[in-house]
Structure formats: C-alpha cells, structure tokens
Copies of this chain bind each other. A is one copy, B any other.
Amino acid sequence: STKIAYSNRGMSLEEDINVTNSYYLETNRAVIHKKPTPIQIVNVNYPKRSAAVITEAYFKQASTTDYNGIYQGKHIDFEAKETKNKTSFPLANIHEHQIRHMNAILKHGGISFFIIRFKEHDETYLYPGEKIVYFWEQQNNDGRKSVPYTSIQKDGVLIPFKYQARIDYLSVVDQLYF
C-alpha cells in the first residue's frame, strides 16, 4: 500500500537500510552493501538442464558486521540492530567477534558504528563503535549488560527519516566524522 512507502512502520530496519544504500549507490554518494548471510553448504544437487539446488545447508555465525563499504574515501563498517526494549539496548544482541571486528576496523582508521532502532520509540540512532566497545568491556567490571537509552540519546545521533534515503545515516556520518 502507499501508506508503507511514506511511513517508517512496516519495513524492517534492514530493509530500510538496503533501500537507503541503493539510493546512495544510484546517486553516487557511497558504495555500501549488506554482506550476504554466511551459510554452511552441506549438499547440492545438480539437476540436468536446471540450476544447482542446495538441499542441505546451515546458518553460520557471522564473523564480522552487517554492512561495509566506502564513503568519501573512508572505509565504513556497521552493524544494524532493532530492539523492543524502551530503556536500554541489551548487549546480548552482540557477539564478541563483532566487537573484536569493530575494534580492529577502528584501529585501522575506519569508521565503525551501530545503527540501533528502538521500535517502541520509533527512533533510529547512529551510535559510535567506540561507545559500544566501551560498554562491552565494562560488562566484566560493573556487570551492566546493556547500554542505557539515555547514553544512546546523549552520545548517539537520531537518524532522520527521509523519502528516498529512508534512514539517511550518511547525513549523521557527515556530522560526526567529517
């Protein structure tokens, strides 16, 4: 329906970001793609005169993040997460190897962040990778298992919702990193 085209509701964060990335690509703004889901293929059939069919496969743990690419000559790498929580973003949503990966990207001079959608608030934030890494490492000290919503409001930036660049995160990247 046309309603969906103008509203944030009804589309997943991932769909919104994919639409946004297509728009960025078409307008030559950036080259950023979703990495395919990693799959462990166990069995493939090769029928005559038709395409190979994978008949047994399993989902593998991703070793990196959801998205990466290039913007203004800089390497961009990020993870997208949705939560139904209202007061915090639970760290249980993140895997240790994702933190290690983001840390490595940051150390090599890349831009790395989370895009976090609070579904109940209908808000989507860009939250710097350094902050997530900080809360992750603090877990063992203070026992806190989540990032407070207030911290995401304070150190993150609300991403504007637009018609074509639905989740216009590069406008926030401009503001924070350039």
Q: Which residues of A contact B (CB under 8 A)?
A: 25, 28, 30-31, 33, 35-39, 41, 51-59, 63-64, 68-75, 77, 101, 104-105, 107-110
Residue contact B108 to A73, C-beta cutoff 8 Å: yes
Least distance between A10 CB and chain B CB atoms (Å): 22
Residue contact A53 to B58, C-beta cutoff 8 Å: yes
CB-defined A-B contacts under 8 Å, sample of 5: A30-B108, A53-B56, A55-B55, A70-B75, A74-B75
Residues of B within 8 A of A107 (CB): 28
| Closest B residue by C-beta to A38 | B36
Residue in contact with A59 in the complex, picked from B52, B105, B108, B110, CB distance below 8 Å? B52
Least distance between A100 CB and chain B CB atoms (Å): 10
Residues of B within 8 A of A109 (CB): 70, 72-73
Least distance between A19 CB and chain B CB atoms (Å): 15
Most buried by B among A36, A56, A105: A36
Residue contact A31 to B108, C-beta cutoff 8 Å: yes
Using A31-B104, A31-B105, A73-B75 as known contacts, list a sample of 17 further A-B pairs with CB atoms less than 8 Å apart, ordered by residue number in A. A28-B107, A33-B63, A35-B35, A51-B58, A51-B59, A52-B58, A53-B56, A54-B54, A54-B56, A54-B58, A54-B59, A55-B56, A68-B69, A70-B77, A70-B108, A71-B108, A73-B74
